[in-house]
Amino acid sequence: MTIACEILGEPGRDNALLVTVDSGQSQHRLLFDCGEGCLAKIPVSQVQAVEAVFFSHFHIDHVAGFDTFLRMNRARPDAPVRIFGPPGAIKIVHHRLRGYTWNLVAGVPGQWIVTEVVAGKLRSSRFLTAEGFEVEYLLCSFTSPIATMYRRGGSSLRKSASVSLEQLSRRNGELNERLTMTSRPGQPPTRTHR
């Protein structure tokens, strides 16, 4: 399995981290934060292939590029758009989705699943493009010391109650190098710098 990390955005400005997990049989793209202009140099097809967005917090420098992501993925037909964030994420993302006039969405595919992470508790809601993201459908709310936050094709990202989402997504400026992590079964991961 290979995990490649690409820092998006210019130094000292809004940024994001695009992580590509290659299991050898499939690739999964995860986006950590979404600063303004960060998606500009990424091909639309790669932005549309992002399976989940993880927000460390909702300061403007971490979310200003979300509208671009929304525009490119609002009507994703094959799989839901998944968003993970800290407490309040469902309310904040719902307001963001509702911040536009959605008068031409009848019959348009697309669903967005937003999960907020609070010390050992996950709460998820779903919003549908065809409804203009108007109605919140509560999917689940449970407490667990260790919970699987994201699972796709045999790969999963787990959250322990002692690990915050902010620890998973570094703050602006802390990421100063690109790295690739490789791991072989039974051996610890190694890092190779690019």
Written as one string, the DSSP assignment of the chain is: -EEEEEEES-TTS--EEEEEEE-SS-EEEEEE---TTTTTTS-HHHHHTEEEEE-S---HHHHTTHHHHHHHHTT-SSS-EEEEESTTHHHHHHHHHTTS--TT-TT---EEEEEEEETTEEEEEEEEGGGTT---EEEEEEE-SEEEEEEETTEEEEEETTS-HHHHSPPTTT--S-EEEE--TTS--EEEE-
Of 33, 61, 67, 78, which one is the catalytic site residue?
61
The answer to whether 61 is a known catalytic residue is: yes
- Which residues are marked as active site? 61
